């Protein structure tokens, strides 16, 4: 791109480009929806491999979101449904 465009998405989906600086916030406000991600296992006792992969996913998401907090430090966070 030539520096023009808009990227919309859930924060986790756009965290990497924000962290790399390839995109910047287009607004001084971010809407927080309160939605989250859920990892669900089909068995009551997941295998060690499944637990390992699940923990890796959780750790990666937390790290990416922690980095993006720095990028969005100056952005006002608005809760979905809240006045403003």
Binning pLDDT at 50, 70 and 90, where does residue 76 land? Answer: confident
Report yes or no on 3 lying in a domain: no
Full domain range(s) for residue 21: 11-79
49 located within any domain: yes
Instruction: Kindly state whether residue 38 falls inside one of the protein's structural domains.
Output: yes
The answer, as to whether pTM is greater than 0.75, is no
Residues of the chain above pLDDT 70, percent:
90
1, part of any domain:
no
2 located within any domain: no
CA angle 73, 75, 80 (to 5 degrees): 120
Two tokens, residue 80? 């979905």
Has residue 4 been placed in a domain?
no
Q: Which is more confidently placed, 31 or 44?
A: 44
Number of domain units in the chain: 1
Query: Which three-class secondary structure state does DSSP give residue 15?
Result: helix
């Amino acid at each position: 791109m030539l520096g023009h465009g808009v990227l919309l998405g859930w924060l986790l989906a756009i965290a990497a480009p924000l962290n790399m600086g390839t995109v910047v916030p287009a607004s001084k406000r971010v809407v927080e929806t309160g939605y989250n991600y859920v990892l669900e296992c089909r068995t009551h006792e997941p295998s060690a491999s499944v637990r390992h992969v699940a923990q890796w996913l959780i750790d990666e998401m937390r790290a990416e979101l922690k980095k993006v907090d720095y990028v969005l430090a100056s952005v006002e966070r608005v809760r979905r449904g809240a006045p403003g």
